[in-house]
Amino acid sequence: MIRAAMFDTKPYDRESFDKTKPEDLEITYFDTKLDPRTVELAKGFDTVIVFVNDELSKEVIDKLYEYGVKLIALRCAGFNNVDVKAAYEKIHVVRVPAYSPEAVAEHAMAMLLTSVRRIHKAYNRTREFNFSINGLVGFNLHGKTVGVVGMGKIGKAFAKICLGFGMKVIAYDKFPSEIPGVEFMSQEDVLKNSDIISLHCPLTDDNHHLINKASIEKMKKGVVIVNTSRGGLIDAEDLLEGIKSRQVGAACLDVYEEESDLFFDDRSGHILADDILARLLSMPNVILTSHQAFLTREALEAIAEVTFNNIRGFFAGDDVLANEVCYKCEKVAECKRSRQKRCF
């Protein structure tokens, strides 16, 4: 029997994991996040199943290693919350690289449409029988230029939707490819020439705060910024200033740099200590969802299935773990996986 401890578990996670759980896997569900204060809960388990805001720092990884945990199974795509260097040669790390790129891309478009057609305002008005449409003037997406940063699985799905809307799609990717209807250019040119910018790249050391005071100043006035990727891609304070100065026309955020202590929990009875977030939320042209772009039935089922396969493959001793990640992943020459081996 493989013993797994699943952290930051929500009712919808439990439902999808219980539905397809293999018989030789026993899961203990914890509501709490994994961090230095809670890591002791992982004692006696073979693997931990973790999500975006669990903290897999060196301190936590060293403790997991000491407790004999052999595998960190991320039930998400991004792994910026894992110190992969600290895990190297100690604990293997696997992830779910794609569960439903369309789920995230559709959410990005849902937020964009909500914002530019003022649906969030109209919804509140009509609920109070206010049928005035003054102040709700939007703009057509048709004919606008959307700049996609990160043309991977989600970026491509989003670009496809945008092309369907009759938009011009320009893109920056570290590794540009040929995609019909999409024009690749430098990141600077994408940011400069877009009416709408949508972020779909992972958060890495080299793109932290790629949306900042300097880059916002070079954007088109009234630009709409959509971020369903990772909060750290945007300097929230600079975004707020950009909104106050009207340089930024609107922001649609599914992620926020300081989200880990806030998102996924009901904090409605609490005083919000984060002044930047509070001010952003007070803006009529900022829409925030709490990291829910992935949250569809289809995606949850796929997450459970791929996580189970990852765990099964690891404990069955498979030579290559298809979804393993390590800090050498981006260095092609050093990649063992491409040579049909585990990362270590």
Interface residues with ligand NAI (CB under 6 A) are 77-78, 98, 101, 104, 149-155, 172-175, 200-202, 204, 206-207, 228-230, 254-255, 291, 293-294
- From residue 84, give the alpha-carbon distance in Å to each of 11, 35, 40, 89: 29, 15, 20, 10
Is 259 considered catalytic here?
A: yes
Sequence-separated (6 or more) residues with CB below 8 Å from residue 178: none
Pick the catalytic residue: 55, 257, 259, 324? 259
Is 128 considered catalytic here?
A: no
Q: How far is the CB of 170 from ligand NAI (least distance, A)?
A: 13
Nearer to ligand NAI, 39 or 255 (CB): 255
Q: How far is the CB of 339 from ligand NAI (least distance, A)?
A: 21
Nearer to ligand NAI, 147 or 152 (CB): 152
Is 230 considered catalytic here?
A: yes
Tell me how far apart the alpha carbons of residues 8 and 33 are, in angstroms, rounded to a whole number: 5
Tell me how far apart the alpha carbons of residues 72 and 324 are, in angstroms, rounded to a whole number: 10
Nearer to ligand NAI, 59 or 301 (CB): 301
Specify whether the backbone of 143 is left (phi greater than 0), alpha (psi in -120 to 50) or beta. left
Tell me how far apart the alpha carbons of residues 234 and 123 are, in angstroms, rounded to a whole number: 28
User: Among all chains, which residue has been given the structure tokens 């559709």?
Assistant: 106
Q: How far is the CB of 202 from ligand NAI (least distance, A)?
A: 3
Which stretches does DSSP call E strand in the chain? Answer: 2-6, 25-29, 47-50, 71-74, 92-94, 145-149, 168-172, 182-184, 196-199, 223-227, 248-253, 286-288
Backbone dihedral angles phi then psi of residue 9, each to the nearest 5 degrees: -80, 130
Tokens of 156: 């491509």
Nearer to ligand NAI, 206 or 319 (CB): 206
Nearer to ligand NAI, 25 or 103 (CB): 103
Pick the catalytic residue: 107, 118, 209, 291? 291
Q: How far is the CB of 328 from ligand NAI (least distance, A)?
A: 15
Residue whose CB is nearest to ligand NAI in the complex, by number: 152
Q: How far is the CB of 200 from ligand NAI (least distance, A)?
A: 5
Question: Which 3 state secondary structure label does DSSP give 98?
Answer: coil
Pick the catalytic residue: 95, 230, 257, 324? 230
Tell me how far apart the alpha carbons of residues 63 and 57 are, in angstroms, rounded to a whole number: 10
Tell me which residues are annotated as active site.
230, 259, 291
